[in-house]
Structure 1
Amino acid sequence: MIDAVPAALLWAVTVWRAGPTFRRRQGLSLWLAFLALAVAMTVRPVAVASAFDENLHVTNLSYLLKHICATVAAASVLTFVADMAEKKGQFRASRLHHALPYVTVALLVLFFATTPQPTEADDLLADYGSHSTILAYGLVWTGYLGAALLSATSLCWRWGRQPDSGLVGRGLLVTGAGTAVGLVYAAHRVTALCVQYAGHSLLGEQNDETVSTTLLYIALLLIVIGSTLPVAPRVARRLRAHWRLARLYPLWRHLTDVVPSSRLHDPTGRLRDAVILSRTNDRLYRRAIEVRDSILTLSAYTTPKLRGLAYDHAITGGFIGADADVAAEACWLAVAREKCRHGGEPSGEAVPPASGGRDLAVELRALMRLSSAYRSPLTETFLRTHLSEETS
């Protein structure tokens, strides 16, 4: 079960980054790194790896796939960091030759194919570590992984400390911490492999596996956090916009159901509306317009007397100033909606809103306050009192 957590996290990041990556044609190397890591962590569990090998009829092929994916991920992270350093920094970043990852993958395939593997291994490098070809396989893989992570760590440290690097710099420092932990992971793996080839054990088979897994998970977590940190403000704004969109749904639905001409599209259910993550800002902008259009239409179903009573009711409820205006607007709006819903005729001219209007941010804050007031006991009491007076 614990292996499923990093795999799920990596797939979530991969899917989340796919849209912006291919729309803007940038950040492809980072997206490729997450994709490779997601594939590697998906086939890492023994049950998944065994099923994968059995279906493809190649013993231990899952290990080759994992190591190739790790190589691709290391090369991609290095490319991403080097590109950022060259673009933002005042120096030209050094990097491994572009051909080296391809040479590494070719050697891995060669050594894997020339090693007899009659049975499925729990750990390829441990179970077949006595073969010189697997020793060479492990040294090539960990050697390239270590070199790539060392270069990435150096670049992250050099550029992340620049005074004007901002969140991008902090993200690089966290990413560098992740690649540094990955470097420790690679060093541990190559040391354990060499010690095992000599017929000994570094920390004991179980302890070696525990240390290796812990270092791997810490490295992955830090790399995910570091690469996501620069876009954290944008993500936070997106989440805040989506939260406001969901919060405005009840008021929007309640008002536009009686004034359907104010909305552009037919409504969906609240749950379905909340899980749609696309075009959040556009939908929020449209929702604010439609709510205000509905309020403007319904204001014609009120009279100065009704609005005065609503304001007195708000004052009696303990509201003052701008809060009283918003509470009063919610009270008379509830009455106007009921009048419109039952086929009443407009009784006056439309009136301007009680608050908001200078810009979208101010308008949204005003509508959020109105939404809360509209669902408050104060508004329910005013509506019941007004309806009972009309029927008596």
Structure 2
Amino acid sequence: MGEAARVYGPPFLAWVALIGRLAIYRVRDPAEDRSKRLVLTYLGALAISFTLQAPGCYEAAGDLLGIPNAAKPLSHWTVLVAAWAARNLLVWMREGGEPVRLSWRLRFLVAGSVVGTGVLFLLADTPVNDVRYNALYGAEPLVLEYWLAYLVGLMPALLDLARLSWVNLCDAERPAVRLRLWMSTVGVVAIIAYHVHKGMFFLSRRFDLPYSNTFTAVMDKYLTLVAFVLVLLSASLPRLRVSGDGAVAGWLHRFTTYQRLRPLWLALYRANPQIALSPPRSALLERLDPRDIDLRLYRRVVEIRDGRLALRPYLDPDAEARIRARAVEEGKTGHQLDAAVEAEVLAAGLRARSAGEPPPNGPPHAAIHGGRDLDSDTEFLARVADAYAATRSARPRGGTSARSR
């Protein structure tokens, strides 16, 4: 069981991370779209590479292509793609601006590495299609040269990744960001150590130099597992914008508030889709997406206020007076009273607009209730959303608008 987890755990985690990103993927602006494409490229390349290195898939790739050990260069080329995509993502995050593109020198370096590894792989005498390629052919001519050609394209990206992760870690203040960068830094350093170790292993096999078999076994089995798990986790964890004491509790409160606002926001969006920058997703996907909750909550509050503004012609002040009197009779006071009245006024306005009723005569708006700042207004709208959801569940189907009562 432990060996199966070591072998198949990394590809499983990589595919879960990739599918999770794809499930919550949506474009907000061109800049964010560029960063998400880099993340998807990075995760997708790692998922393919890990899958090709799994024993059954490794042998199947060689059999399918008719080239023994074809999975070896294919997995290495996808690692090159992943490493440079991750490096470009960190460069873009730190410097911003235009999309990051490799200089012609780096492109030449990577292209030379790909061509060199391909040629050396085809020239090397490795006829048996076996996942134990390194142990079987470590002493063969051109295998060491293959590894060195691979490192020519990979090491610059890894060294840049380690440097950028460390620099960003030193600058980061938020605990969640620091955690991600710690995992990224340690993971990349471990990957660099593994590739240096593997170069020394091939060197020792080629020239019959002493090199500990026990050390090799430990490095091969556990270093890559720890390294890639850390790197995958750093890429997969949500970017929680939290800091200070009670950070987790504060984030949970904002996330819960964001979900509470959904019924009211969705009703206003359906009445006026122009209020939202992005169309709604399913409730399940929204609950599975914990990223950027501060920004998303702020936007939801603003869009609810925009939706109310667009609904002003249908908000009847006379209806509001009747609704308020009835709520007072029911014993509601303070914030509870204002939230309940606002919810019913909005529900009546939405029904009137949906039914095509003409706007009422007189002042074309009802009184505006809310908080004095963003936090208090967010809490008020959350109460309104709760009351609105309760009103909808209690109202029988085919109910009449408040204006007709």
Query: Normalising by structure 2, what TM-score?
Result: 0.63
Counterpart check, 1:8 vs 2:44: no
- What does residue range 362-381 of structure 1 map to in structure 2 within 5 Å? 365-376=379-390
Contact 1:72–1:101 under 8 Å retained in 2: no
- Of 76, 80, 89, 1:71 maps to 80
Counterpart check, 1:189 vs 2:206: no
Amino acid at match of 1:60: N
Q: Which runs of 5+ in 2 are unaligned?
A: 1-7, 97-102, 243-247, 275-279, 290-295, 401-405
Report the CA distance between 1:9 and its aligned residue: 1.5
Amino acid at match of 1:181: A
After superposition, give the CA deviation of every residue in 1:117-143 in whole Å (9 maximum; x if it has no partner).
333211322232231222332344357
After superposition, give the CA deviation of every residue in 1:195-236 in whole Å (9 maximum; x if it has no partner).
5554976228865542244234235236526xx88x6549x9
Separation in structure 1 between the aligned mates of residue 27 and residue 265 of structure 2, nearest angstrom? 29
Separation in structure 2 between the aligned mates of residue 184 and residue 128 of structure 1, nearest angstrom? 21
Residues 365 and 132 of structure 1, relative CA distance in 2, 3 Å threshold = same
Q: Which has the larger radius of gyration?
A: 1
Counterpart check, 1:55 vs 2:69: no
Residues 329 and 52 of structure 1, relative CA distance in 2, 3 Å threshold = same
Task: Provide the aligned C-alpha RMSD in A.
Answer: 5.4
Contact 1:126–1:193 under 8 Å retained in 2: no
After superposition, give the CA deviation of every residue in 1:251-283 in whole Å (9 maximum; x if it has no partner).
466789xxx8x4459xxxx97476489xx7888
Report the CA distance between 1:344 and its aligned residue: 11
Separation in structure 1 between the aligned mates of residue 73 and residue 151 of structure 2, nearest angstrom? 13
Amino acid at match of 2:13: V
After superposition, give the CA deviation of every residue in 1:8-46 in whole Å (9 maximum; x if it has no partner).
314655897895796579658776544533432343323
Separation in structure 1 between the aligned mates of residue 281 and residue 326 of structure 2, nearest angstrom? 36
- What does residue range 138-157 of structure 1 map to in structure 2 within 5 Å? 138-142=147-151, 145-146=154-155, 148-154=157-163, 156-157=165-166
What is aligned with 1:221?
Answer: 232
Separation in structure 1 between the aligned mates of residue 233 and residue 374 of structure 2, nearest angstrom? 36
Aligned residues: 356
Contact 2:311–2:350 under 8 Å retained in 1: no
Of 199-208 and 58-67, deviating more is 199-208
Report the CA distance between 1:64 and its aligned residue: 0.4
Higher RCO by CA contacts (8 Å cutoff, separation 6 or greater): 2
Separation in structure 2 between the aligned mates of residue 180 and residue 369 of structure 1, nearest angstrom? 49
Separation in structure 2 between the aligned mates of residue 184 and residue 159 of structure 1, nearest angstrom? 21
Report the CA distance between 1:180 and its aligned residue: 1.0
Residues 294 and 5 of structure 1, relative CA distance in 2, 3 Å threshold = same
Contact 2:24–2:285 under 8 Å retained in 1: no
What is aligned with 2:366?
Answer: 352
What is aligned with 1:325?
Answer: 338
After superposition, give the CA deviation of every residue in 1:37-72 in whole Å (9 maximum; x if it has no partner).
343234332333333333332222221011122234
Amino acid at match of 2:366: P
Contact 1:126–1:196 under 8 Å retained in 2: no
Separation in structure 2 between the aligned mates of residue 78 and residue 348 of structure 1, nearest angstrom? 62
Separation in structure 1 between the aligned mates of residue 156 and residue 357 of structure 2, nearest angstrom? 77
Q: Which runs of 5+ in 1 are unaligned?
A: 89-94, 388-392
What is aligned with 1:121?
Answer: 130
Report the CA distance between 1:370 and its aligned residue: 0.8
Counterpart check, 1:104 vs 2:113: yes
Query: Normalising by structure 1, what TM-score?
Result: 0.65
Percent pairwise identity: 20
